[in-house]
Structures are given as structure tokens and as C-alpha cells.
Amino acid sequence: MATAVTAVPDKQVDLTEELGRELDRIRSEVVAARGADDARYIRTVITVQRGLETGGRLALAVSVLPPAWLAGTAMLTTAKILENMELGHNILHGQWDWMGDPAIHSTTWEWDFLSPADAWKRTHNHLHHTYTNVVGRDRDLGYTILRMSPEQPWYPVHLLQPLYNALLAPVFEWGIAAYDLEADTVAAGRKSVRSFLGDLAGLARKTVRQLAKDYVLFPLLAGPSAVPCLLGNLTANALRNVWAHTIIFCGHFPGDVQTFSEEQIDGETRGQWYLRQIQGSANIEGSPLFHVLTGNLSHQIEHHVFPDLPSNRYAEVAPQVRELCARHGLPYVTGPLHQQYASMWGRVLRHALP
Amino acid sequence: MSWAGRTGVRITGWTGERLLAAASRLTAPLTSPSTPDDYLGLLDPLLSARHPAGRVTAVRAEGPAAATLEIRPGRGWARHRAGQYLPVGVEIDGVRHWRTYSITSPPDAAGAPITITVKADPRGRVSPHLVHRTAPGTVLRLGPPQGEFTLPEPPPTRLLFVTAGSGITPVMGILRTLARRSPPAPDVVLLHSAPDPHQCLFHAELADLAARLPGLRLQLTYTRTDGRLTPDRIAGLCPDWRQRDAWVCGPAGLLTAVEGYWTAAGLRHRLRMERFRLTPVRPAGAEDTGGRVRFARTGTETDVPASATLLGSGETAGVVMPYGCRMGICHGCLVPLLDGQVRDLRTGEVHGEPGELIQTCVNGATGPLVLDL
């Protein structure tokens, strides 16, 4: 199913490099254009997010009243989604480093998610974005527990993967935190035990802070509303987890998205890397509000081609990338959420079997 | 404002600050992984102690190409000493730029307004913005006051100030401080040079100070008609220069000449100098030649050819460099730039200011530069 990128005719190579040059040009145009409006955008999202979080926490403090519980949980869920997707994920990518604002910078940001920012930046920004969908290199391809491509070896445990994929969704942040520890690479000897233990200690410290806030301190402050407050926080975290799981899985695992072998990326050029990013990602169509709530990961193709461009620019870049794909006869996998979601599940089910 | 009133404000401010700091510590676990500061900063940037800021309260033109900005500092900003300079973070087109300017106001109670006087450099980006396009209400980021070009306490009895152009700014802060003392100034000689009276910063105030303070002798030199200040002329204008503690601020040529003169007389220890901090100027044609890179912490130096990355060259030279994707996407290789400029090998863009974090895997050298590694 993968396009052969080794031993291709010269003409094909020329076209791929031409594609790379055109994408480089689009990137330069955005870099030259970003400015005060973009800075205002990210600061507005931060203000809205912190406002929603404050409102949600206040409403949950009196959540013995059912309407307050509903409003508080809704606000807190939205705040957590915005914080993880449009803020955390994108700021940690360095999308806003160009502003030179130490408060909105990949080196200083810490997010409201279990996995510490440093661990995430290594496994996600470096490994996943460099080796996207390369079997054996991109650990995000099934997150080491799911079999998402026929090239991955089948084991009987994969028969259960539809079940554990469903169970993973509401506790997604715990799955990612465990995954970012890279226990499998320690077993394979590619990561030292010492650095594993360091990561484990970092995760433990962050886990204590995260759990204390949502499940001890805020419920205690809520007094008579302690139990509904705790349940509201639990619901917000679970809904955010389900949402993040859905968006991320729809970005790489719908049926038409390709996977690659390690031999194929041997000596890969910049043009070929771009080509692989396009073929290994899938977009989700929706309204502007939907795009913001996905952290603009609904523009997964554009994000993978330009991972460090400001997320608010993906929407304007998307038609150009799509037109480029059409011109080069490349697939541009896109569709509404329900379609991508069903397609992703089809893939989980299909590869559960040998 | 009366002295009593000022004291009252100071105590209230101090109490308020302590209360806010205590409240921040108590609520920190609730805002984790953000900080209470992040929320306070949304209400008013001046409430953020982690990223100190100030609000411009007045802008006064000082001739056609300079302006004095009055800035009210917020939480977390430390008091300055007369003669120190201030790192100022200015946002232009969404990007923050840092420059340093001498503080021209005397040290006051914490929270009292401070002033900086900025001369617009037509080739610069930040100074024209501050002089011509900054309105009262603008928020500027403030770094901690720095520099040792200051007045010792108690001040020596005989002082000599030699300044040229905007080199007068730190000395203005010192003079205003001396003028407020009682008894006011000891024996002070100020030799200042400017192109002409029209372009002389603080012209009226200097004349006024000289008239008011019996201990201050002011000697203005206009370079358009009189030529530049040289050590010989300084000695001619102030024959007892050997008996004075000296403060000199101006262009590099003046400082080098003065330093040599004082050293020859065995008086280097009585001389304090302040160099202008200039915007890094891109060396002509350097983008084609790469440059020599120094790693400040390890002490390693290496030549980086035009098309080579800083990351690759550093590793070849044996420096342990942070790295990630090696293709400019993951920001895992960021290293602070201390001096010089870099070239983005993808776009050809030349950029870099001191303190900027550089993606070493996609940037090369353009002229000599120093990395904090």
C-alpha cells in the first residue's frame, strides 16, 4: 500500500523535489506574514481558556445545584480541551517560539496533562514527527499496543485490541504518560535504566500535582459540593481524554492513510519527507470552532508538513496544500469526523485479525 | 506628592505586595501546572512578578529624534541605582525585542515611575518605535536594572563626568540624584559633547542644573564647530582631572582614547566607563562565508562553513549539543545565542539577538558568534 520511494525513475524524483520546493515556499510565506494578529490570536485563546477554567471551577464549587454542575463541567471540559490541544500541543511544538515571549514558549510551557512536557516533546515532536508512520520507528503507530498496519507482526493479544482501544479512550492521558516512559525501548536496550527512572520520578511528581488539584484540593474547597465537584472534575478529564483520543486517532489511522518501511526512508530527501507526511496523515472537516477545539489537528496534513507554523495559519494553508496534491496526483485524505472515526475503527478491527 | 504621602503609598504597596505574594503561594497548587501569576497577568500585566512589566505613563519629546518615556514598573521589578541601565522588552509585530537603555530618573520608592531617554537610530528597529510610535498606556517588559556605572555611597568629593551624544543619559540619572541630596552636589565637572545645541539632549535642564548647583561646572562642546572631545582637550578643560574620580560614557573611540590616557597616568582605577550597547549589525557579505563560532561554556571554538549547521559543526568540534529531529521541526536543539547573528539555512533569513533561542540544526553562522553552551 505504500508508494515505493526507493528505485523510482528520475522523473518521479524531480516531481517530489518540486513538491518539496513548493511546500518550502508556502512555509516561507507564512513565516514572513506572521505578526501582531497571530500574537493577538494565541493570547485571546489563552485568555478564553483561563476564563473558562476559572468559571468552571467556580461553578463546580457550588455544584450541589445541578445546573451549576452542568455548566461547571461543560466549562472545565472545554477549558481542558483548549489547554491540551490548541495551547499545550501547539506551544510545545514551538509554533509560538518566534514571538520571543517566555510565557508562551516551547521551553517553558507545562500543560494540564499527565505526561510532563519534556517527555512529550521527545516522543512526539522528535520521534513521531520525524518518523511519521514508519513501521518499527514511529511508536505512535498504534502506540506500541495496537496493530494498525499489515506490516506489524500479529500476536493473539491483538484479538482484544478493539476492546482495549475503547477502554483506552477515557483514560488516554494515563496511556500517553505510560507510553512516554518508553519502557519498551529500555527493554530493547535503547534507553538507559537511569534515564527511565528519572522520567518516572518526573511523572510521579507531576501526577501528584495533577491528582491533588482535581481530586483533593478543589473538592475540599467546595465543602458541601465536594462529591459533585470531584465527579465534575473526573468527567471533564474523561471527556477531554475521549476527545483527544478521537482527534489523534483520526489524524493517522483512517483507512486510506499509508505506512512505510524503514528501508523506504533510507537516504530520504526533504521532498520525500514531505511526501510521506502528506501520505501518512488525514484531515477532518468541520466548522472553525471545531478546528479550534481540535487544536487545528483537524488540519493534520498541514500540521505534519509544517509542524512549527502557528496553528491558526493551517486553515489558510490547507487549500494550497490540497491544490498541490491534486496537481501532483497525490491522495489528500479528508472527511467529516463521523466518516474518519468509522474508518479508524474499521482499521482497528481489521488488523485485530492476522 | 508630599513625603508623608509618598511613605504612605510605599507602605501600602509593600503590604499589598506581601499579601499578593502570600496568596500566590497558597493558591499555586490550584493553578498547577500554570501559576497564579499567569492569571494575575491576564488582569494586568503589571501584576505578574514572574515576567516583570511596566506601563508607559508619559512620553515627552526631547528634540526631533529622542524622547523620554516615563514608566511605572509593576510587581517583581527591583529598585535601581543611579547610573544603571534597564533591559526593555518591546513587542513589535508580535515579536519581542530586548534593548537596554540608561535609567535617567533618580532611584525612588519601589513602584514609583522611572524614566529612560531614547534616541531614535534611523537604521534601528526598536529605538524609532519607542520614540515615535509608543503611546502612554503601552506595556513594556522590564529586566532587572544592571551595570556598575554607578555612584558609590557616600560619593567621592571631586567628580568628573565625560559624556558624548546619548552617553549623557546614565550621567543624567546620577546628576539628578546628586541634585536632590542635601547638601546637593559636591565638586562636579561635566564635560559633554553633542553635534550642536539643537541636538544636545537635556540642554535646558543641564543649564538649569549648572545655575542652581554651585558645585557643578558644565562645559559643553559642539562637535560641528569645535571638533571632538579628546583626552588632551579633557585635560585642558579640567586641569585637575588627576584628582577626580571619572565617569566616561560615549562612543567606542572616545572610551578607548580615555582609557589609554588614564592608564598611562596610572589612574585606571579611578575611571568608570559605560559602553553603548549597539544593535548587532550584520557584517557585509558574511552570509556567504559562514563564521567562527565560540561555545561560551566549554570554551571550544570552531569555523562553521557557509552551508553547515551550527549543530553539525558543534558536534564535529566535540561539543555535546542538544538535538532532536535534525530537520528544523521539533525545537529540541534550542541553544541561547549570546552574541552575533545566525542564518536560517532554509530561508536565508539572517536573524538573532542576544538571548534568542536558536534552532541549531537549521541555522548556520553569518560572521563570528557566541553560543551559550
Mutation target among A126, A128, A209 for the B interface, most CBs of B within 10 A: A126
In-domain check, residue B124: yes
Burial of A69 (0-12, 13-18, 19+ CB in 10 A): buried
Q: How many CA atoms lie within 13 A of B112 on its CB side?
A: 18
In B178-197, the residues whose Cβ lies within 8 Å of chain A are none
Query: B36-43 and A36-61 helices cross at what angle (nearest 10)?
Result: 110
The stretch B337-358 carries a mean pLDDT of 89
* Chain A to chain B Cβ contacts (< 8 Å): 109
User: What ipTM was reported for this prediction?
Assistant: 0.90
Residue B347: which pLDDT band, with cuts at 50, 70 and 90? confident
Query: CA B97, CA A334: separation in Å to the nearest integer?
Result: 40
Under 8 Å CB-to-CB from B182, ≥6 apart: which residues? none
Provide the pLDDT for residue A9: 59
Residue of A24, A29, A101, A302 to mutate, interface with B, max B Cβ within 10 Å = A101
C-alpha cell at A148: 494498525
- What are the C-alpha distances in Å from A15 to residues B106, B347, B348? 66, 21, 23
C-alpha cell at B28: 499555586
Which of these ranges, A315-324, A342-351, B312-321, B323-332, has the smallest mean pLDDT?
Answer: B323-332
Give Cα A124 to chain centroid, integer Å: 8
- The answer to whether the Cβ–Cβ distance between A93 and B325 falls below 8 Å is no
Q: Does A120 touch chain B (CB under 8 A)?
A: no
Residue B14 lies in a domain: yes
List CB contacts (< 8 A) between A27 and chain B. Answer: 346
Looking at B142, B171, B193, which one is the last position of a domain?
A: B142
B281 domain residue, yes or no:
no
Calculate the average pLDDT of chain B. Answer: 89
Q: Report how far residue B228's alpha carbon sits from residue B253's, in angstroms, rounded to the nearest whole number.
A: 10
Per-residue confidence (pLDDT) for residue B184, from 0 to 100: 67
Q: What number of other Cβ atoms are within 10 A of residue A258's Cβ? A: 16
Backbone angles phi, psi at B298, to 5 degrees: -85, -20
CB < 8 Å to B42, chain A: 46-47, 50
Do B126 and B165 sit in the same domain of this protein? Answer: no
B31 to chain A: nearest residue by CA? A213
The whole-angstrom separation of Cα A222 and Cα B268 is: 68
Instruction: Give the cell for residue A307.
Output: 509542524
A257 close to B (CB below 8 A): no
Put simply, whether A130 touches B (Cβ < 8 Å) is: yes
Q: Does A276 touch chain B (CB under 8 A)?
A: no
Nearest-by-Cβ selection for B331 from A28, A270, A308: A308
Number of Cβ within 10 Å of residue B152's Cβ equals: 9
| Alpha-carbon gap, residue A252 to A254, rounded angstroms | 6
Do residues B25 and B55 both lie within one domain? yes
Among candidate residues B243, B275, B307, the one where a domain is terminated: B275
- pLDDT, averaged per 10 consecutive residues of chain A (354 residues), comes to 49 86 95 96 98 98 98 98 98 96 94 95 92 90 88 94 96 94 89 93 96 98 97 98 97 89 91 94 97 98 97 98 96 96 95 94
Strand partners, B161: B190, B247
What is the pLDDT confidence band of residue B31, given thresholds at 50, 70 and 90?
Answer: very high
The phi and psi torsions of A283 (rounded to 5 degrees) equal: -95, 160
Q: Which residues contact A43 (CB under 8 A, 6 or more apart)?
A: A104
Contact of B137 with B67, CB cutoff 8 Å:
no
Q: Are A34 and A316 in contact (CB under 8 A)?
A: no
Inter-chain residue contact B331 with A94, CB threshold 8 Å: yes
Residue with more model confidence, B76 or A315: A315
Tell me whether residues B34 and A130 touch, CB distance under 8 A: no
Q: How far is CA A222 from the centre of its chain?
A: 33
Q: Domain holding B184: CATH number?
A: 3.40.50.80
Q: Contact, B197 vs B170, CB < 8 A?
A: no
B171 with B257, same domain? yes
Contact of A174 with A203, CB cutoff 8 Å? no
Residue A28 burial (C-beta neighbours within 10 Å; 0-12, 13-18, 19+):
middle
- Report helix angle A270-279 to A10-33, nearest 10: 80
Q: Is residue B184 located within the same domain as residue B219?
A: yes
Q: Are residues B306 and B361 both part of a single domain?
A: yes
CA–CA min distance B256, chain A (Å): 35
Residue B126 pLDDT more than 90?
Answer: yes
Q: Is pLDDT above 70 for B236? A: yes
For chain B, positions 83-112, list CB contacts with chain A under 8 A.
Answer: 91, 93-97
- B154: cis peptide before it, omega within 30°? yes
- In chain A, the residue whose alpha carbon lies closest to the alpha carbon of B328 is A308
Q: How far apart are CA B234 and CA B228, in angstroms?
A: 10
Q: Indicate the number of domains in chain B.
A: 3
Residues B243 and B334 in one domain: no
Q: Can you give the C-alpha Rg of chain A in angstroms?
A: 21
Closest CA to B362 of B327, B337, B333: B327
Give residues 80 to 109 of A whose Cβ lies within 8 Å of B: 93-94, 97-103, 105-107
Residues on chain A touching B97 (C-beta within 8 angstroms): 100
Are B237 and B360 within one domain? Answer: no
Q: Mark whether B291 and B360 lie in a shared domain.
A: yes
Q: Is residue B93 part of a domain?
A: yes
Reported as a single tens digit per residue, the pLDDT across B252-297 is 899 999 999 999 999 999 999 987 655 444 444 444 678 999 999 9
Shared domain check, B137 and B108: yes
Please check whether residue B101 lies inside any domain of the structure: yes
Q: Which of B30, B324, B331 sits opposite A217 (nearest CB)?
A: B30
**How many angstroms away from the CA of B254 is the closest CA of chain A?**
35
Cα B152 to chain centroid distance, Å, stands at 20
Contact B96 A28 (CB under 8 A): no
CA distance A155 to chain B (A): 31
The 10 Å CB-count burial string (b at 16+, else e) for A290-307 is ebbbbbbbbbbbbbbbbb
The verdict on residue B307 lying in a domain is yes
Q: Is residue B227 part of a domain?
A: yes
Residue B148 lies in a domain: no
Both B15 and B80 in one domain: the answer is: yes
Sequence-ordered alpha helix ranges (H) in chain A:
10-33, 36-61, 66-82, 90-92, 117-120, 129-130, 161-168, 172-180, 183-187, 193-212, 218-221, 226-252, 270-279, 288-293, 300-305, 314-327, 337-350
Same structural domain for residues B170 and B254? yes
CATH number of the domain to which B63 belongs: 2.40.30.10
Report the pLDDT value the prediction gives residue A8, as an integer from 0 to 100.
Answer: 52
Q: Show residues of chain A in contact with B347, CB under 8 Å.
A: 28, 31
- Residue B132, pLDDT above cutoff 60: yes
Distance CA A161, CA A286 (A): 29
Question: Mean pLDDT, to the nearest integer, of B103-126?
Answer: 90
pLDDT of amino acid A4:
42
pLDDT at B279: 44
The cell for B296 is 561560551
pLDDT reported for residue B56: 97
Residues of B in contact with A308 (CB under 8 A): 328-329, 331
Which structural domain range is residue B316 located in?
286-371
Q: Within this chain, do residues B137 and B162 fall inside the same structural domain, yes or no?
A: no
Out of A99, A125, A209, the one facing B330 most closely (by C-beta) is A125
- The reply to whether A137 touches chain B by the CB within 8 Å rule is no
Up-side HSE of residue A159: CA atoms within 13 Å toward CB?
3
